[in-house]
Structure 1
Amino acid sequence: MKEILITTLRVFLSSSIALTAFLVTYLFNGLDLAPALGLGVVAYWLTSKGIARRFALPAAQHQLIDGADPHYQEKSYKEARRKWKVIGRYRFQVRSLSVWLKVARLYKIAEQILDITGKDLRQMNKAQAFFNHYLDATLTILEKYTLLSKQPISSDEIREAMQKINVGLEDLIRAYEEELNHLIAKDLLELDVEVNVLKQALDSKGEKK
């Protein structure tokens, strides 16, 4: 909770200072638009970094807040990457184009999730379902698909099972996407704030004319 409040405060103060820097340099000092915007961006970045550093929590305190052992997180992350690589290998065993597209989509989203969490293992807490359930479910479904697709016979039961596999993969894609959204929610919020700051700056320019 404290981390969320710090992020909100950082975005608000940084945006306010950036907007003030832009207005002062552009409206009152007569600086051209591009340099004024550049100065505003620099002001935002410096303020944001300064606040983040000022309120940064010690590593031990982060561990208490996250409630997870960093050694356990590292082990879980390595295991998740191993499972991701197995999913990647399944792409070369799929005979159906529609199934291949779904597996490729899952592989790509999983790669993005692992890239984000790999930079800060504490982020794994925001995608616990992905690490604890979804990867295993994906491997189970793909294992069954591979087994069924190699059968020399075709029956109603096999076709029904294949249909269920397709539905299961679609459900997993939506679940993966939701986990990825959890991870990038803060970045999207900051981007939205930055866009609003730029819009306000441009609106102020229009009012000046």
Structure 2
Amino acid sequence: MYKFLTIIIRIAVAIPAMITVWLVSFFLLDLSFLSSSGVSLIGAAMTYGIITGVLYFRSLKKNELTMKDYRYIRKQLIEAKHKIRRMHKTLLSIRQVTFFKEMFDLLRTIRKIYQVTKKEPKRFYQGNQFYFSHLDSAVELTEKYAFLYSQPKKSREMEQVLDETRSAIKDMKTAIEKDLYHILSDDIEELNFEVDYTKYTTNPKQERLDFDGQQK
């Protein structure tokens, strides 16, 4: 959504610039229609590029990142996106209704972490364990589970492995939920502070009574 809005902003600025350059070139500089059109297109392209650069550096400043950090995180997010697609494809191949919800909840949590990090890249470093360990493990477990589950005949050993894999996926789901909580920990702390402050400002007498009661 943010990327779409930035494109709209760039186009919204570039089009008026193009029209202005064409009018100046055609009426004031007395250039031909084709020359004015060419100059106006160049002007629009330059304006679009300048706005892109401004928005890019504003994003770096907002997220407190260097260009090197931003490129590195962007590369990691592209890889994570491919892994999430693999996991989604694997999920669709599983026909076990009782376990499908568990897998779906896991995938939803993974997507939430990806979306939060994509929106605010500086959170990437809070999710190191997710991106460099838990995500790979989740994808590998689900793919192996789907492969074994798809076999027409299953031995007792295979059934045991499938059961152990289901248990491991549940444990991984819990670990990834903790990853999400860790990434959002700053927001949770800020929200708790705002709630406490709101309670104090809207009912200060009660807060003081509670405080005095605790002192006594």
* TM-score of the alignment, normalized to the shorter chain, above 0.5: yes
For 1:102, the equivalent position in structure 2 comes to 102
Residue 93 of structure 2 is aligned to residue 123 of structure 1: no
Structure 1 residue 104, shift from structure 2 partner: 0.4
For 1:200, the equivalent position in structure 2 comes to 200
For 1:157, the equivalent position in structure 2 comes to 157
Identity across matched positions, percent = 24
Point out 4+ residue stretches in structure 1 off by more than 6 angstroms: none
Larger radius of gyration: 2
For 2:189, the equivalent position in structure 1 comes to 189
Aligned letter for 2:133? H
Aligned letter for 1:146? A
Give the total of aligned pairs.
Answer: 150
Secondary structure at the counterpart of residue 164 of structure 1 = helix
CA distance 1:206–1:175, shift in 2 (3 Å):
closer
TM score, norm. by length of structure 1: 0.64
Task: Tell me if the contact between 2:134 and 2:172 (Cα under 8 Å) persists in the aligned partners.
Answer: yes
Aligned letter for 2:191? L
Structure 1 residue 158, shift from structure 2 partner: 0.6
Task: Tell me if the contact between 2:109 and 2:180 (Cα under 8 Å) persists in the aligned partners.
Answer: yes
How do residues 1-209 of structure 1 correspond to structure 2 at under 5 angstroms? 59=61, 62-63=64-65, 69-204=69-204
Gaps of 5+ in 2: 1-59, 208-216
Aligned letter for 1:79? E
Distance 1:106 1:86 in 2: 14
TM score, norm. by length of structure 2: 0.62
Distance 1:100 1:62 in 2: 39
Aligned letter for 1:157? E
Distance 2:159 2:171 in 1: 19
Per-residue deviation, residues 109-131 of structure 1 (Å, max 9, x unmatched)? 01111111111212110011111
